[in-house]
Amino acid sequence: MENLQFLLDGFATAATPTNLLLALIGVVVGTAVGVLPGIGPAMTVALLLPVTYGLEPTGALIMLAGIFYGGMYGGSTTSILLNTPGESSSVVTAIEGNLMAKSGRAAQALATAAMGSWVAGTIGTLLIAFFAPIVTRFAISLGAPEYFAVMLLAFIAVTAVLGSSRLRGFIALTLGLTIGLVGLDSVSGQARLTFGIPQLGDGIDVVVVAVGIFALGEALWVAAHLRRKAVEVIPVGRPWMGKADLARSWKPWLRGTALGFPFGAVPAGGAEIPTFLSYITEKRLSKHPEDFGKGAIEGVAGPEAANNASAAGTMVPMLSLGLPTNATAAVMLAALTSYGIQPGPLLLQREGGLVWALIASLFIGNTLLLILNLPLAPMWAKLLQIPRPYLYAGILFFASMGAYAVNGSSFDLILLLALGLVGLGMRRFGLPVLPLIVGVILGPLVEAQGRRALQLSSGELKGLFGGVDVATGDFRFSLVAIVVYVIIALVLLWPLIFKLLRKLLPAKAESAIEDIAHEVEAQVHDPELHTRKELL
């Protein structure tokens, strides 16, 4: 197992006193910011990115890994202790978690969430260490036509599979592509959409886009609809759980992990579907099904593990292909680029030491999180009561600081403001933000790969479907590219296929599907959660 050797080397890099301290700071700050209501994991990473700017890449990545897991964990604490869940990935955890908290079992809910996150994070990170090199090996064998196809698939997947409206998803994606066009064309050097402004020549920094869309856009949107009544926070002591709770939790943790990781690893799998599947599975398998709807611990343990495992899963395509499959991964990719690291299939070869140090620090961060968060939970709960004017003023403050720090120029603040207004409009008009950010990151790469593929085929369109065999000089269609195009077609035609299937499907199967839908509906009392149900 050479991977094991690499991983041990990674631990050697990550376990120096300085780097351990950076991981610790990352975990604490990440949790503290992630706990704050209205701040999801992606915004946590985007807002805290500038903190890492002064560090060298390894230290910065180690701190970022801590921030990443801290932000994830903080989000679930918020959803258990507040009755209105923020990010979609913790909606399911919130259902039973909040019910448990209301019936005086907040400590147990937080404990099973913390330990479930740790179990899922540890197994998930092991799986990253196992799969990332395998996917990389496959990825290196791919050429420009295959990459072009795979990135198109990433576009279509995040746009057409996630979110409730495909049309609005495609609008968001195209806005992202437009932002990605700004700057000098990489091949011809001609200026596109720069309007003669020299600062736009290098394009719009992805970090500024992420901070503008995630942080400023969100702060402005909340300001427009700020809840004037203070939200109710459930008081909590130190998280703990007894033997009975542990006995009820460990299987859901493992099952949740098994569901979450694969969904996270494929484009557009996301955390919503596996957390819901985990919820339904646990309800079916539970020895105490009567507890569901009153605060069943299995309903927190399973979905929370699924959520964290899915987050770990997103690291596989991110590290091995440079493909972002959720918002947090998109921001992490932006971070890599801002440290001067080129993400993509060659990342593991060129920056192997760095990647393995990152994977090792995911283990370390995850464990630090468990040790810290059990005793610190009451303090995190207090953070939920932060006066809202300070919270959102703070987001504006840190967003400005971060955007200014990217290039040390106030021009980026003008861009930040414009992007913040775009983010505000997107939230108002139901345009999902993920396709936009993926469009900004992948758009220029897709164009570059497409043009390279055409260059290899001397401009013939078939160059997008295959390449010339070096040995024989004959043109050969690429199996990978063709398969990917077929998948794209299936995803795009899915609504039609679904209708057909429904007609062909025997009535029995149909009623089974409806049963599940009703069951979920019966559980989900909160009207805000209704939209999520449609994902099933």
Partner 1 sequence: MSESAATAGQSAAARPSVPRNIAEYGVCVFLTLLGVVVLVDALQLNNNRTGVDPLGPKPVPVFVGTVLIVLAVALAVAVSRGNQAEAEAGEDIDLNQRVDVKTVLLLLGVFVANIVLIDFLGWVISGGLLFYGSALALGSRHYIRDLAISAALSLATFYGFAIGLGVGLPAGILQGIL
394-423 residues near partner 1, rule: CB under 8 A: 394, 396-398, 400-401, 404-405, 408, 410, 413-414, 417, 420
Nearer to partner 1, 253 or 392 (CB): 392
CA distance 178 to 201: 15
Residues in the interface with partner 1 (CB under 8 A) total 84
Closest separation in Å from C-beta 528 to partner 1 = 5
- DSSP-based three-state secondary structure for 48: helix
Closer to partner 1 by Cβ: residue 242 or 340: 340
Q: Is residue 510 at the binding interface for partner 1, with CB under 8 A as the rule?
A: no
164 lies in the binding site for partner 1 (CB under 8 A): yes
Q: Which ranges of 82-202 would DSSP assign to H, the alpha helix?
A: 91-100, 106-140, 144-160, 166-181
CB of 249 to partner 1, least distance (A): 26
Q: How far is the CB of 173 from partner 1 (least distance, A)?
A: 9
Q: Which is nearer to partner 1, 37 or 299 (CB)?
A: 37
Residue with tokens 């990935």: 89
505 binds partner 1 (CB under 8 A): no
* Nearest to 212, CA basis, from 481, 406, 495, 442: 406
- Dig out the tokens for 328 from the structure: 């947090």
Could you tell me if 415 and 203 are in contact, meaning their C-beta atoms sit under 8 angstroms apart?
Answer: no
What DSSP designation does 477 have?
E
Give the orientation angle of helix 91-100 with respect to helix 272-285, to 10 degrees: 40
Rounded CA-CA distance 37/86 in Å is 7
3-class DSSP string for 429-469: CCCCHHHHHHHHHHHHHHHHHHHHHHHHCCCCHHHHCEEEC
CA dihedral 36, 40, 42, 46 (to 10 degrees): -20
> Which 3 state secondary structure label does DSSP give 466?
strand
Where does this chain touch partner 1 (CB under 8 A) — which range of 130-138, 186-194, 331-339, 367-375?
Answer: 186-194
Q: In the window 20-59, what residues touch partner 1 (CB under 8 A)?
A: 37-38, 50-51, 53-55
State yes or no: residue 167 binds partner 1 (CB under 8 A): yes
Name the residue nearer to partner 1 (CB basis): 38 or 293: 38
For residue 122, give the nearest of 320, 312, 255 by alpha carbon: 312
Provide the minimum distance between the beta carbon of 65 and partner 1 in the complex, in angstroms, as a whole number.
17
C-alpha to C-alpha distance for 361 and 106, rounded to whole angstroms: 29
| Coil, helix or strand at residue 467 | strand
Cβ pair 305, 337 in contact under 8 A: no
Given the rule CB under 8 A, which of 95-103, 270-278, 367-375, 390-398 is the region that contacts partner 1?
Answer: 390-398
Pick 363 or 398: Cβ nearer partner 1: 398
- Mark residues 435-474: x for contact with partner 1 by CB under 8 A, - for none: ------------x--xx--xx--xx---------------
Residue with tokens 């195009």: 485
**What span, in angstroms and rounded, lies between the C-alpha atoms of 142 and 138?**
7
- Considering the rule CB under 8 A, would residue 165 count as an interface residue with partner 1? yes
Query: In the set 45, 211, 427, 481, which binds partner 1 (CB under 8 A)?
Result: 427
Question: With respect to partner 1, which residue has the nearer C-beta, 192 or 284?
Answer: 192
* 262/394 with CB nearer partner 1: 394
Given a contact cutoff of 8 angstroms between Cβ atoms, the answer to whether 520 and 280 are in contact is: yes
Q: Could you say which residues in the range 216-275 bind partner 1, by CB under 8 A?
A: 218-229, 231
Given candidates 247, 430, 510, 515, which one binds partner 1 under the rule CB under 8 A?
430
- Cα–Cα nearest to 422, from 155, 170, 214: 214
Q: Which residues, numbered 70-89, are part of the site for partner 1 (CB under 8 A)?
A: 78, 82, 84-86
- From candidates 12, 240, 390, 515, binder to partner 1 by CB under 8 A: 390
User: CA torsion angle for 337, 37, 390, 400 (degrees, to 10)?
Assistant: 10
Q: Interface with partner 1 includes 198 (CB under 8 A)? A: no
Binding mask 340-379 for partner 1 (x = CB under 8 A): ----------------------------------------
- Per the CB < 8 A criterion, the answer to whether 143 and 450 are in contact is no
Supply the minimum distance, in Å, between the C-beta of residue 172 and partner 1.
10
Using the rule CB under 8 A, is 425 a contact of partner 1? yes
Residue 8 makes contact with partner 1 by CB under 8 A: no
What is the rounded distance in angstroms from the CA atom of residue 496 to the CA atom of residue 188? 41
**Which pair of tokens denotes residue 168?**
């609005």
Instruction: Please report whether residue 66 would count as binding partner 1 according to CB under 8 A.
Output: no
Specify the residue, 86 or 124, whose C-beta has the smaller distance to partner 1. 86
Token reading at 459: 């401009």
**Dihedral pair phi/psi, residue 344, rounded to 5°:** 140, -175
Stretch of 171-179, 276-284, 314-322, 471-479 lying at the interface with partner 1 (CB under 8 A) = 171-179
Q: How far is the CB of 337 from partner 1 (least distance, A)?
A: 18
In the numeric block, the tokens 């919270």 are attached to: 391
Residue 511 binds partner 1, judged by CB under 8 A: no
Of 269, 326, 273, 274, nearest in space to 302 by CA: 274
**Minimum gap (Å) between residue 456 Cβ and partner 1:** 10
By CB under 8 A, tell whether 61 contacts partner 1: no
Does position 491 interact with partner 1 (CB under 8 A)? The reply is no
